[in-house]
Amino acid sequence: MFGKKYDDLSSGVSDNNSDWTDEKESRDFETLGLQSPKVSEELVDRIRRHFFDLVNPSIAANLSNEELSGKIDKAVMEIVDREKIPLNWREQNQISVDLLNDMMGVGPIEMLLGDSSITDILVNGFDSIFVERSGTLELTDLKFRDDQHLLGVARRIAASVGRRVDESSPMVDARLADGSRVNIIIPPLSINGTIISIRKFPLNSISLEDLAQKKALTEQMAKFLEIAAASRLNILVSGGTGSGKTTLLNALSAHIDVNERIVTIEDAAEINIQQQHVISLETRQKNVEGGGEVSQRDLLRNALRMRPDRIIIGEVRGSEAHEMLQAMNTGHDGSMSTIHANSARDALSRLEDLILSSHSNSHPFTVRKQISSAVDLVVHVIRDYRGYRYIRSISEVIGMEGDVIVMQDVFKFNETEALDPENPSSNFTCNLLRLRCREKIKQYGQEHALNRIY
């Protein structure tokens, strides 16, 4: 890993050091109930300078995390001994962990990725790191060493998914190994230095039943959405940023029949579908020469040639909206997607705007007619001022009346009452009597299940 310099340094180290390393690695901080030790920045920088003088990156890149961790432990111990730096084993271990995170992970925010209570990690420059817990933002005491350290981590994240971030391409969407979604933007577009926004997703899939237990919807609403997904209704999930659209989309996809072929299309893969027959497609940005871009629209056109039973688009936000409607109207029932909007009605208006902006020769009435015949349900989710995430409404698209798309609320939040987390069913009105989609539900053998939830 470290080349000749490291070999010379380690030649006088006794084999007994491996015993110390094994003992140290077995004493995990969390197991002992200890806080990570705080070491002065001056000492850390001193060890770091000596360490990186010895590193051969090309060799380190070919080592596994376990091999690299062991070599880092030995190197830190030898530097401490040689330089006579007053650190105990816990402090040395923490420095080793930080160095490993610098080389293979995401630096000081690596520890935040393992915290299940955190949903968002927001890096606003090298010395300002926020996290979101339970809908509330908190400033942490973590920081990167400097702007270059942060930029290096950002470039490593982008490179891990075959993308780049530099002055010619200062914005990028990527993902981490655990599936977390990452957005990066750097100067000159960002005035405050490199900005990294990480949206974490649960390691284990969240079901509609789980969401009901978390008071995000009622059990009656969960049963209806199960039936809707199983009956191949075309579902559009709308909401604002961070409202839980993707989480709900994942939960809905769990009720797709295991024998169906599913194709997912995303800018950065984050949909986690449990079925076996899933084809995941991901867009590609332009290369250095300005070519090679593959958009969601391109992928959607190709997906139609792949014999899909269902097509799931992570988020519709451009010209692919037209192809999505065509797919829904030509035998690909059960398709799903998300869209940014402030309400169910706004979701359809935004869908119309996306199509008209990319097809200027289309007539608004024709587009609305296509939308009304393609989309069956719009499920609107919100995150309110208290940080609660829940379904605000489930609306059915009825058809056209004149030149207006007609919708009816199947479930609707009672605007006159504040949300009661302990009893959310008291906050929703239900209307299951005149469903336009009842015939499709009956066609897929789900009518008895629908009758049971009245």
Q: What is the distance between the alpha carbons of residues 124 and 196, in angstroms, rounded to a whole number?
A: 7
pLDDT recorded at residue 415: 67
Q: Model-level pTM?
A: 0.74
Give me 294's structure tokens: 């593959």
**CA distance linking residue 217 with residue 230, whole number of Å:** 18
Three-state SS at 81: helix
Per-residue pLDDT of the chain (454 residues; tens, 9 = 90+): 444 444 433 333 333 333 333 333 333 433 333 344 455 667 777 777 777 777 666 666 666 767 777 777 878 887 777 777 777 778 877 777 777 777 666 778 888 888 888 989 999 999 999 999 877 899 998 888 889 889 988 988 888 777 788 888 898 888 787 778 899 999 999 998 999 999 887 767 789 999 998 888 999 999 999 999 999 999 999 999 888 898 999 999 999 998 999 999 988 777 888 788 999 998 887 766 667 788 888 998 898 889 999 999 988 888 888 888 888 887 788 999 999 999 999 999 999 999 998 887 889 999 999 999 999 999 999 988 878 889 999 999 999 999 999 999 999 887 665 556 565 556 788 888 788 899 899 999 998 888 888 7
CB 391 within 8 A of CB 216: yes
- The predicted pLDDT at position 424 comes to 56
**Which structural domains are found in the chain, ordered by start?**
3-104 (no CATH), 117-199 (3.30.450.90), 208-452 (3.40.50.300)
Among the listed residues 153, 151, 150, the one whose alpha carbon sits nearest the alpha carbon of residue 103: 153
Strands in 414-450 per DSSP E? 428-430
pLDDT for the residue numbered 374: 92
